[in-house]
Amino acid sequence: MRVFQQPAKAPFVIVMTGKLDAVDPILARQMGADDFVVKTSDMGVLAKAVQKMFSTESSS
């Protein structure tokens, strides 16, 4: 009998930073981030980013 392991799913990466340069979200995504949130955002923005990650996972 063979046992097959499913490959581990990559973790979701949300970058949260205080930097406001226009290039930062682009660089973060190029480095593998799934989303980018500025620290000055309210918690609703972060909550939506997390909800988006879970909805993406369940639709895959």
What residues contact residue 39 under an 8 Å CB cut-off, 6+ apart?
16, 17, 18
pLDDT in tens, the chain (60 residues): 555 565 667 778 888 888 778 788 888 889 988 888 888 667 888 888 888 888 876 665
Distance of alpha carbon 54 from alpha carbon 12, whole angstroms: 9
Domain boundaries, the chain: 14-59
Query: What H or E segment, with its residue span, contains residue 14?
Result: strand 14-17
pTM for the structure as a whole: 0.58
